[in-house]
Amino acid sequence: MAGPSLKLNTADFQLLLGGYYLLEDGSGRYLLEDSSGAYLLDAYVPQVGDPVVFTQPTWSGRVVSVNRRDIMTARTNYDEVSITATNTAVAGSGSGALLSDGGSYYLLEDSSGRYQLEDASGLYLLDAAAYRNLAVRVSQNQDGSTTTYGSLETYTAGYAAGQTFLLVSSNLNLSSSYTITNVTTDFEGANPPTPYYTIEFGDAYQTLQQAGGGILTRQASAPTQALGVVMPGGVLGYAEVTADQGTFTALTDITGLTVTVTVASGRRIRISAKVACSSSVAGDSADLQILEGATMLENAEAVVQTTAITLVSIAVEVILTPTASIHTYKVSMRRVAGTGNLTMRAVTGGFSGPAWLLVEDIGT
């Protein structure tokens, strides 16, 4: 790395920490009183999380990576520290100065020729910034669309991600406007270091899936992923109980069957539950409900037998598009007909199996 490298959201740079105090006249090192050694410079070693501020160019962020390297085999008492810092700055807008390879001229409106100086001594030249190492790649994707990605280097400051600029290249026969996707500031030389800017422009750099035309799929048990197709978010919450509860007749919350979930904006969820029960009197009817607070969202009823005969499992589910927020769902049960007392059955090893409540994100 030859000096700091600054981009819109990252800054990579190295520090060479350490060294010795020198005598004022530069004739040697400042020695300890007993001459057993020299005074060492004690520099601060940046820590992860430290704020970082650059000037010329302006950049600020926080340290996210610190890599210390012992370079004792090359120089004693020095510590090479490589640092990466990031920020969350967003690309702006506006226009950047014209970039030209210098071989272009103003043309007459009817394109019949070049625009000459009044005394015919020469031609009007485009007033533009110079660049080098221009490369423009146009590629066609599997879905038929084309993507343009280009880069160049310039010594002219003032370009920033989000700007549009006119690029003129007589060598490549280009005269088009592009949007800058990133500007990397690097330095060359050391006395003083001179910044140069690598400008990336055109379409955003493609992801692997985009390059594949959006038809790349994830294999095995995971669902197929396709560009533009909303995927389910999966399980948001699940609760299970393995102990019986009751007896009861009035509406009673099933202990442990409560789930609190965070639902994102515009998402559709499915809430499902399964609870088994029996009654002290065969032929009673039980009602299983899914509720949010005191609001019943869905219910299902079934005729219940006694434990001696058989258990009845009741399943209920509901599809919702709730508000983007935290929601708490629960399961309750009651007797709606008959004279017996209900018992919720979920004992491990029994005939019913566990009772459960499941909340899933199923898409939009």
Nearest to 102 by CA among 78, 130, 122: 130
Give the residue with the Cβ less far from another protein, 281 or 296: 296
* Shortest separation between residue 228's beta carbon and another protein, angstroms: 26
* Shortest separation between residue 130's beta carbon and another protein, angstroms: 16
What ranges make up the beta strands (E) of 189-233?
Answer: 194-202
Give the residue with the Cβ less far from another protein, 103 or 189: 189
Nearest to 1 by CA among 10, 15, 14: 14
Cβ contact 46:63 at 8 Å: yes
Residues that bind another protein (CB under 8 A): 1-4, 13-17, 43-44, 46-57, 62-63, 80, 88, 187, 189-190, 192-193, 195, 258, 260, 262, 293-294, 325-326, 328
Between strands 99-100 and 164-169, the pairing is: parallel
User: d(Cα 158, Cα 152) in Å, to the nearest integer?
Assistant: 15
97: which residues sit within 8 A by CB, 6+ positions away?
A: 128, 129, 156, 158, 159, 165
Give the residue with the Cβ less far from another protein, 20 or 187: 187
Cβ contact 346:311 at 8 Å: no
* Shortest separation between residue 4's beta carbon and another protein, angstroms: 7
* Shortest separation between residue 64's beta carbon and another protein, angstroms: 10
Give the residue with the Cβ less far from another protein, 49 or 349: 49
| Distances 257 to 233, 297, 302, 304 between C-alpha atoms, Å | 21, 15, 20, 21
* Shortest separation between residue 138's beta carbon and another protein, angstroms: 35
* Shortest separation between residue 170's beta carbon and another protein, angstroms: 28
Q: Which amino acid type is present at position 160?
A: A
Give the residue with the Cβ less far from another protein, 56 or 111: 56
Give the residue with the Cβ less far from another protein, 17 or 318: 17
> Which residues pair with residue 185 across a beta bridge?
6, 197
